[in-house]
Chains A and B, each alone.
Chain A
Amino acid sequence: MAAPIFEINALKHEYAGRTVLEIEHLGIRPASIVGLIGPNGSGKSTLLKMIGLIEKPTKGEIQFNGHKVEPFSEEARFRITLLPQEPFLMKRNVFANVTYGLKLRGGGGSLMKKAHKALAMVGLEGDEFLQRPWYALSGGEAQRVALAARLALKPTVLLLDEPTASVDAGSAQLIKEAALRARQASGTTLVIASHDLQWLFEICDEVLHLFKGKILGKGRETVIFGPWHELSAGQWGKVLPDAQLLRVPAPPNPEAPALIDLLPAVTEPVPETDELNRLKGTVSRLSLEKKTGHVFATVLVGGHPFTLRMATNQKERPHIYPGDTISVHYRIDQVKWV
C-alpha cells in the first residue's frame, strides 16, 4: 500500500481555549477521495484548514509526503489548495483571479490559454467570463471561478469545503464533475467536506464521520443525542417520537450522544433479544457505493436517518424500495458513546 500523502499525529486545535479538533491519528492515501461528514461545528472546516496549511494546529503535527509541514511550508504550499465553502474572489477580474496562483508559481506557458482551459473545466466560457469583474458574477459562477483558479494549478491535493452548499443545482453538478475530472486527469487527492452524503458515499474511498472535533468512525453510524433514561436496573434508553424504544447500554452521562451502527440487512426476520434492539423504519433512499458495490438504504426511524448496509450478494439482499416499512437491528453492546 502506498505511503500516506498526509499523516496526522496527536493533533489538537483550540479556538479561545475551546478544543475544536482532536485527532489521534489519521492517514490519507495519495490519489484517494476522502469524505468528511458531520453536523455544523463538528470540525470539518477546521480539519481542512489544518491540512490545507491555512492554520497551524495548537498541538501535534501534520506530515505531507513524510515531511512535517505548517503554513507557508515550501514543500507543500504549491501542491495543496483549498476551496472554501463561500465563494470568495479577489477584487479583480476573472482572468486575474484564475491566474493569481499560476503567477505566484511562475513557470512558462500562456496564462490566457491556461485560464480558458480551467474555466472550461467548470463549464464557463473564457471569452464570455475572463474580463468580467468580480462583482458581475452570480454566487454559482463565483464558486466555479474559484474552483477553476484551483484546478488551473493542477494541485496534488484539492480540499473542498462544502463546495456545493451555496450554489444552485446546475453549478453543484458542474463542480462535482470538475473535481472528479481533476482526480482522473492528474491523480489529485481529494478531501471533501459535504452534507451531501449520497454523493460522498458514491465517490469516496473512505468517509470519515466527525463529531465535536473527533473522528468517530467511517461515516455509516448515526448519532443520537440524549437525554437517556434508566428504564430498569442497568437498562437505559429513550422513547423516539414514534413511540419506539431505543435501548442502549449505561451512558457515561444522561446527555451523552450515542453512535449507533445498524447490522447489515438480511432476508430472514430477526427476533428482538436482550442483546439486539429491533426498530421499524421507512426506507427513504437507496444508494450505491461504487468502490465496494454495496447498496445502502437510508431508513428513517422516529425521524432519525439510519444507514443500512445491504449484502453484496444479490440472493441475500432483501428487496426493498423507498417508501417500504422495514425492520432494522443493532447490537446494544456495540453502541458507542461520544
Chain B
Amino acid sequence: MDFLFDGFIQAFALLLSGNAETYSAIKVTLMVSSYSLGCSLVIGIPLGFGLGYFTFRGKKSIRTVVDTLMALPTVFIGLLVYAFLTHRGPLGDFGLLFTLPGIAVGQTILALPIVIGLSATAVESMDNKLRLAIMSMGANRRQLFLTSLWEVRHGLLAGSIAAYGRVMTEVGISMMVGGNIKWHTRTITTAIALETNKGQFGMGVALGLVLLIIAFGVNISVSFLRRRY
C-alpha cells in the first residue's frame, strides 16, 4: 500500500511544482464541466420548474422518465453521442468528435436529468403560500417565476452541486467522445484511468486528490453562499 502514501506525496509535488500535464488536465476538466453545467442549468432549471410547479396530464410519467435518466450510465451516453458525432453520424459535419464541446454535449445530457429532477423536487417542496404571498404583492408572471426560483435557491444549489459532481467525475463520456488526447481533451478522470493502466498509481492518486480538493473548494464556496444568502 506504499503507493497510496507515495501518491499523496507525489500529488502535492505535482501541484506545487506546477506540473504542466497535471494543470492541463485540471484546466480541461474545469472548462468542460463548467460548459456542461452551465448548459444544463440554463435548460434544466426552467424545465424542472415547469415540471414541479404545474399540474398537467402525463406529469407523473415524465417524472418517472426523468428520474430514470438520472441513472444513465456514462458509457451509454458516450456511445450515443459518439454515434451522433462521428463522421458517419447525423451530426458528423459539426466536427465535434474529440473536442471539448463534444465532451460538453455528452456531459450536458448526463447532467440535464439531474438538474431537472432535483429542481422539480425543490419546486414541489415550495410552500403553497409562497405563490399567494408573491402574487398578493403585485408580481407579474416573470416576477413570480424569478422570486419563486430565488425562494428555492438552496434546493437548486443542491441540484447543481450534484450535477457538477457527476460531470466532473465521469469517465465514459470524456474517454469515448473526447478520446483522452494529451494537452487537448485529457480530463482528470481519463488521466487517472490512463495512468493506472500504465501502472503509475502515484500519478493516479495525485490526480484523484486534485479532484477531491476541487470538490472541497466547491463545497466550501457553496456553504459560504448559503450562509450569505
**Contact surface of A with B, Cβ cutoff 8 Å:** 49, 52-54, 71-72, 77-78, 81-84, 86, 88-91, 100-101, 104-105, 146, 149-150, 153
Contacts and interface: CB of A to CB of B under 8 A. Distances in A.
Contact of A49 (B127, B130, B132, B143): B132
Given A86-B129, A90-B130, A90-B147, A104 B139 contact: yes
B129 A72 contact: no
A153 B133 contact: no
A87 B132 CA distance: 11
B198 interface: no
B151 A53 contact: no
B88 interface: no
- The 7 tightest CB contacts between A and B, nearest first, are A101-B137, A88-B129, A82-B136, A77-B138, A78-B138, A88-B133, A81-B136
15 contacts: A54-B131, A72-B140, A77-B138, A81-B136, A82-B136, A83-B136, A84-B133, A86-B129, A88-B132, A90-B134, A90-B147, A90-B151, A100-B147, A101-B138, A149-B137
Contacts of A100: 137, 147
Q: Give the interface centre of A81, A91, A105 by most chain B CB atoms within 10 Å.
A: A91
Task: Give the dominant DSSP class at B's interface.
Answer: helix
Interface in B103-134: 127, 129-134
Given A53-B135, A54-B136, 13 more contacts: A72-B141, A77-B140, A78-B138, A81-B136, A81-B138, A88-B132, A88-B133, A90-B133, A90-B134, A100-B147, A105-B138, A150-B137, A153-B137
A143 B63 CA distance: 36
Interface of B: 127, 129-141, 143, 147, 151
Nearest to A155: B138
B138 A91 contact: no
B133 to A, nearest CB: 5
Task: Give the dominant DSSP class at A's interface.
Answer: loop
B143 A54 contact: no
A55 B132 CA distance: 9
Nearest to A83: B136
A53 B141 CA distance: 13
A90 B153 CA distance: 12
Given A88-B127, A90-B147, A90-B151, A104 B138 contact: yes
Contact of B137 (A49, A72, A91, A104): A104
A146 B130 CA distance: 12
